[in-house]
Amino acid sequence: MAPLYKLTYFDGRGFAESARFLFKYGNIDFEDIRIKRQDWPKMKNSTPFGQVPVMEHNGKQICQSAAICRYLGKMVNLAGNNDWENLEIDSIVDTMNDLRMKIMLVQWEQDAVKKRELKDTVLEEIVPYYLARLEALVEKNKGNLAVGRLTWADLYFVSMSPGFDAFIGGDTFAAYPNLKLLRDKVETLPGIKEWIENRPNSDF
């Protein structure tokens, strides 16, 4: 039978890897469609808002990676047990998205001098500010980012951590033992371990 879900993105981890982690964790078959950069301009207008990842299900297309992961997280039993727990999970996921956005602003900066200044600020102030708070949260939540047990926020965070490492030029979590333990835990989960070993190589 053809998979019930298709996930379309570029040939990279980027904004799609979190959804792939959730599909693999839940052992849910999906079609992992990877488009070539040169094919993107002619595909762009067929997506809901000119962006990928796009998930397709029952003939419907939907964009926005965090929204997709919230849906998949519920499906694979990694959501909260009540509305407040879901709020805690959602809050940490959007906090992660903020951190990623601050890093992307450095990558998008064209002026070399400004890029250097901005990168220094992000590396010396912003990243440590977030990581110290995340480290404390994980300690408080018994090795997880929220609600005292594994949720889709943990998979979301760990799936993007190689992107942080690439930006920093080293191990993002070197000075953060709880975050390292969280990463080790997620990366060895059934489904995810095999995926990391076998996933396509990519630059981003």
Residue ranges that bind a second copy, judged by CB under 8 A = 48-51, 57, 60, 62-64, 66-68, 70-71, 74-75, 83-84, 86-88, 90-91, 93-95, 98, 101, 105, 111, 129-130, 133
Query: Least distance to a second copy from the beta carbon of 93, Å?
Result: 8
Smaller CB separation from a second copy, 98 or 184: 98
Query: Least distance to a second copy from the beta carbon of 133, Å?
Result: 6
How far lies 45's CA from each of 12, 52, 64, 96, 181, in Å? 21, 11, 16, 28, 42
Smaller CB separation from a second copy, 51 or 188: 51
Task: Please tell me the distance from the alpha carbon of residue 161 to that of residue 61, in angstroms, as a whole number.
Answer: 27
Task: Please tell me the distance from the alpha carbon of residue 85 to that of residue 79, in angstroms, as a whole number.
Answer: 8
Smaller CB separation from a second copy, 28 or 62: 62
Query: Least distance to a second copy from the beta carbon of 126, Å?
Result: 10
Q: Which burial class, exposed, middle or buried, applies to 130 when counting CB atoms under 10 A from its CB (0-12, 13-18, 19+)?
A: middle
Query: Least distance to a second copy from the beta carbon of 103, Å?
Result: 14
**Residue 98, CA atoms < 13 Å, CB-side half-sphere:** 11
